[in-house]
Chain A
Amino acid sequence: MASPAILLQGNEAVAEGAIAAGSRFFAGYPITPSTEIAETLARRLPQVGGTFLQMEDEIASIAAVCGASLAGAKSLTATSGPGFSLMQEMIGFAAMAQIPCVIVDVMRGGPSTGLPTEPSQGDVMQARWGTHGEHSVIALAPSSVLECYTLTVEAFNLSEQYRTPVIMLSDAMIGHMREAVVLPEPGSLRIAERGTPDCAPDEYDTVTSTLDSILPRPPLGSPFRVHVTGLVYNRLSGAPDTTDPTAAADLGRYLREKIYHHREAIQRVEEVEMEDAEVAIFAYGSVARAARAVVKWARAQGVPVGMVRPITLWPFPTAAVDRMAEQARAVIVPEMNIKQMSWEVQAAVAGRAKVVDYGRVDGDLITPGEIQELVKREFYYHRWEES
C-alpha cells in the first residue's frame, strides 16, 4: 500500500531526504530562508542516533561537515547567500581533498544581506565558480517539494560516487512552499554507500582512482592511516607535492575530469513537449513552475512551445541544450538573476537559435504572465485567444 500524502515544506523535505539518504550528521548556522532545515534536523537527527551541531558560523559548519565525512559519516549543511559565500573556502577544500558532502543553498536575494526573505537564483554562478582554483562541481536545482526530498538523496549518492561536494540550489520559494507529497517508499530509492578500498592498508599507496573507478577513501582512524590535504598532492601516495608540475597537472586535470567525464551519467534534464517545439523555455528551480504553466497554456491553443528544465545545473547539460538548439528556433531563459544561466545557454546554443534572456532581481517571482508575453513575441503572427 502506498504511503498517504503528507503536507510538507520544501526545507522539511530536504531534512527528511537527508535522513533517508543515510545522513546522520548536520552542522549549520541559522540563516533565513534555510533555517527550517536546521530546525527539522535538530529534532530528527537525535531520534535516529545522528548528530545535529549548531556551529559558531558557516565556515565552522562546513568545516565540521568535512571532518565528519572524513570520519565516515554522510554529512550535510544548509545555508543561504551570505553563509554560502562564507562556505566557499571549505567547499574548495572539499573539492580539492575529494570529501563527499552536501551543501544546501536556499537562495535569497543578494548581494550581501540583500533580500533575506525573498527568492532568487543569484547563486548559480557562485555554485560553479565560488571557490578559487580549477575544479568541477555538481549542483542540483529542485523545483518542487518532492524534488527537495528526492534530489537530496541523489545529492548524497552523487557526492559518495564521485567523492565531491554536491550543492543543492533551492530558493526561498521552494524552501518555504508547502505541497502535498507522497514520499517514496523506504527502500525504493537508490542509496549509494561509501564502501572501503579493496586492498590491504600497506598496498593503499599503490592504487589510485581512475576516471572510471573512483576509489573510496578509508575513514580517519583506520589501519590505512590516510593523509588528507588541501595542498596539491600526489594522487598515488596522497602526500603533498607542490614542486612537481606533473603531479599538479595530474591532480588539476583529474579534479575537473572526474566530474566532466561522467557528465552524461550525472546530468538530469526534464524535457516537456519538446518533440515539435518551435520555441523552448529553458527554466530551472521555482521559475520552471511558471514555465510549465506557460507550456500548458500555449499547447492548449495549439502553439508549439516546450520546456527544457535542467535538474542538474552543473555540470551544464550541454547534450540537452544541443537537442534544444537543433529543435527550436528561439529559446527563452527566464531566471531570477541577470543573465547568469542565459550566457551559458547562449554559449552552448552557439548561434543555432535565438536566445532571449529575462531576469528579475527584485525578489518577486517570475509569473506565467510575464513568460507568456515573451512567448507571444516569438509567435507574433498567431492570433491568441483571450485568457
Chain B
Amino acid sequence: MSALVDEERLEESPTGDHALPKITPHTTAEIKAHLRVAKTMWCPGCSNGTITRALIDAILGLELDAEKVVVVAGIGCSGRISAYLDYSTVHTAHGRALAVATGVKVADPDLHVIVAMGDGDCSAIGGNHLIHAARRNIDLTALVFNNSIYGMTGGQTSPTTHRDDRSTTSPYGNLEPAFDLCELAHAAGATYVARGTAWAYHQLVNVIAGGIAHKGFAMVEAMTICPTYYGRFNATADPGEFLRLQKEHAAPAAEFDEGESRERERYPVGLLRHTERDEFVAALGVIRERAQGARNG
C-alpha cells in the first residue's frame, strides 16, 4: 500500500454499498506490474496516484484480461494516466475522450473501455459528449478525477469550482454555481452513478469496480485533492489536512438527505444510482439484425 493509504483510512472507509463488488486490495508489486513508469508528473500531495492505484486494484479485483482493457483519456492532469498504465491506452484531445471511446467500444465490443477525464475535461469542453454518452447508455466507464479546478494550466475556474471559491481566473471569488457531475450524468441517462474519494480508498476501488462491471454507461466521480492550486487558494496546501477535510465532507449515500444542498462541505458518496436499461452496443446488434432481415425477407 502506498504511504497515503494507511490503516486508519481503510477502517474508516464508509462502505455499506451492498450492490458493489468487494475488492481486496492488491500488493504494491501486483499494482506496479500494471504500470509502465515509476514516476509521474503529478505534484507532491496530489491524489491522482491514489485513484490510479484504485483503478488498477479494481481491474485486478475483477480479474479482467489486461489485454482487453483500454483506457481512453482526455487532456489535463488526469489525462496523463494514459501514459502510465500498461494497458492499451489513448491520450486524446481535450474533452473528446468519451467520443473517441464510443468509437473504440462500438468497433470492438469485447474491450473494457475506461474513460479517464478531469472535471473540466468532461463537463466543460466535453460536456456535450458526456450527456450524449450517458443518454445512449453505452457500456463505458467514465472515471472523472474531480479536483474542482484546472490544475494543468495552473489553477483556473472549472465548472465544478464552487461559488465564491478562488482561482487564478476568479481572483474575487467564483460567481458561477458548481455542477454536480453525478446528478448531471444521472439526469442525462447514466445507469450507474457513484462517487468516491481519495480519502476512502476501499470505497473508491469498489465504486470503480462496480462501474466497470456494470453493463451500460457508468459515471464514477473520484474526488481528488489538488493541494497545489485548489487547496492553496481555498482550503489547505497540506495534503494530509486536505484529505481529512474530504473525509468530513463526504456523507455515505444512505445518510444523505436528498433535500440537502450539494455543496463543497457535504456531498453523498458511494453508489448513488443503479438501474438497468438497453445498452447501446447491444442495441446496435438488433439494428443489424433488422437491416439484414429486411434485406433477406
Contact = CB atoms under 8 A, between A and B. Distances in A.
Interface of A: 25, 27, 43, 46-47, 49, 51, 53, 55-57, 59-61, 63-73, 75, 89-90, 93, 219-231, 239-240
A93 B291 contact: no
Contacts of B106: 25, 51, 53, 64, 68
A46 B106 CA distance: 13
Nearest to B129: A60
Most B-side CB within 10 Å, residue of A25, A43, A55: A55
Nearest to A44: B291
B108 A228 contact: no
A63 B89 contact: no
A228 B89 contact: yes
28 contacts: A25-B107, A43-B291, A47-B291, A53-B103, A55-B99, A56-B99, A60-B99, A60-B102, A60-B129, A64-B103, A66-B103, A67-B101, A67-B103, A68-B107, A71-B103, A72-B108, A90-B96, A93-B92, A220-B108, A220-B111, A221-B110, A225-B66, A225-B86, A225-B87, A226-B88, A228-B89, A228-B90, A228-B91
Q: Give the dominant DSSP class at B's interface.
A: helix
A56 B100 contact: no
A64 B82 contact: no
Given A53-B106, A56-B128, A56-B129, A221 B67 contact: yes
A230 B92 contact: yes
Q: Would you call the interface of chain A mostly helix, strand, loop, or mixed?
A: mixed
Nearest to A49: B288
Contact of A51 (B68, B91, B284): B284
B72 interface: yes
B62 to A, nearest CB: 16
Contacts of A225: 66-67, 86-89
A90 to B, nearest CB: 6
Contacts of A56: 99, 128-129, 132
Nearest to B135: A56
A66 B97 CA distance: 11
Nearest to A219: B108
Q: Which of B72, B92, B100, B291 has the most CB of A within 10 A?
A: B100
A63 B67 contact: no
Interface residues of B, number: 40
B104 A71 contact: yes
B100 A64 contact: yes
Given A47-B295, A66-B103, A229-B90, 12 more contacts: A25-B107, A27-B103, A43-B291, A49-B292, A53-B106, A63-B93, A71-B103, A72-B108, A221-B88, A228-B89, A229-B83, A230-B93
A220 B83 contact: no
Given A220-B90, A230-B91, A64 B99 contact: yes
Nearest to A226: B88
A73 B105 CA distance: 11
A264 B90 CA distance: 33
A46 B287 contact: yes
B70 interface: yes
Q: Which 3 A-B pairs have the closest CB atoms?
A: A67-B103, A46-B291, A63-B99
A222 B128 CA distance: 30
Contacts of A226: 88-89
A53 B129 CA distance: 14
B129 A71 contact: no
A226 B296 CA distance: 40
Contact of A63 (B68, B96, B288): B96
B129 A70 contact: no
Contacts of B108: 71-73, 219-221
Contacts of B105: 67, 71
Nearest to A201: B67
A69 B72 CA distance: 14
Given A64-B103, A226-B88, A240-B83, A71 B288 contact: no
Contacts of B99: 55-56, 59-61, 63-64, 67
B290 interface: yes
Nearest to B94: A89
A72 B295 CA distance: 27
Nearest to A225: B88
Contacts of B284: 46, 51
A244 to B, nearest CB: 15
